Amino acid sequence: MPLREALSLVENDELDLVEVAPEAQPPVCRIMNYGKFRYLQKKKDQGGGKKHTSVSIKEVKMRARTDTHDLVHKVRNIRRFIERGQRVKVSVFFRGREITHPELGKQMLNGVLLQVEDIAKPDISPRMEGRSMAMLLTPK
C-alpha cells in the first residue's frame, strides 16, 4: 500500500503507523494503537511473576523462661500459621546469664515440636544463632 494511503487510514482511525521491518524491501509497517501495544507489553512483562508463589516465613519469639500459659498461646499461633501453609521459625532468646543454660532453650523447642508434630516437621533442627536458639518448622 502506498505511504500516503496508509497515512490517511491512520489519521481517520486515530491509530499509529509503526515500522516493523525497516530492513525489508519495501519497509514493512503496521497500523496499530501504539500506546495500547506498549501498555499490553508492559503488563505482559510484569505478569511473569504471577505464577510464582512466595513462601513467607513467620517467626515466633520466646524467652528461655517463658511460662507455660504463654507458651500455649504461642503454640496456637504456630499451628495457625502452619495450617495456612506457612513456614515458622521458632526462636528462643537468651538474656544476660541465661545464655549459660542453652539446654533450657532446647527443651522448650523440643516441647513445641512435640505439640505440633502432627501437622509440622522440623526443617532445621534447633541450633544456636548468636544469643538465640532457633528451629524452622514446615507443614507436613
Residue 44: give its domain's CATH number.
Answer: 3.10.20.80
Q: Are 64 and 104 in contact (CB under 8 A)?
A: yes
Tens-place pLDDT, residues 78-113: 999 999 989 999 999 999 998 999 999 999 999 999
Structural domain tally of the chain? Answer: 2
Q: Tell me the whole-structure pTM to 2 decimals.
A: 0.61
Residue 94: give its domain's CATH number.
Answer: 3.30.110.10
Q: Measuring CA to CA, how many Å separate 57 from each of 12, 18, 65, 68? A: 56, 48, 24, 24
Asked if residue 78 and residue 28 are part of one domain, the reply reads no
| Encoded amino acid at 59, one letter | E
Domain holding 7, by residue range, is 3-48
Tens-place pLDDT, residues 56-75: 899 999 998 889 899 999 99
**CB atoms < 10 A from the CB of 81, how many?**
21
